[in-house]
Structure 1
């Protein structure tokens, strides 16, 4: 099994050290995506995905704590819904650190 998380944020003026929140139907382009992939014999046999921030009943919060020459760091949390289903998961206390260009 492989799991992963992605965060997509698009802001016209560029990201800043602040907190961004998308509440289901807001216009802010912020998405949290969690996926689980099943593997058999080295091949992906299925993927389950959860999205938060753009669909009703979900939210996603991203806090950017710092930008430096090494990248960006921050935290995230949210309520994500199962793609194609009615289940939800809560993400709490997520942290990230990533290079950027």
Structure 2
């Protein structure tokens, strides 16, 4: 997929309601995961990505800084992200555990 023509999201659009369920594409342009939710706010916010698995089963949530993801909309208006990480690199990250 050629992401160069896709419209980048404005900082004001980087909210959980916009980014939730966005597909994340890795360095090799393969789907590496999906945004589960955001953790924190502003410049310190992290996106929690469900990596791997199939239909939500067996996936592993990992948290990455929002700044490490390039969020955009495709021609159909679907929000997705591109990162320089590969699926294997994301899978090797520590699992994100929700703090209660």
Q: TM-score, normalised by structure 2?
A: 0.30
Bigger relative contact order, structure 1 or 2, given CA contacts below 8 A and separation 6+?
2
More strand by percentage: 1
More helix by percentage: 2
Q: TM-score, normalised by structure 1?
A: 0.30
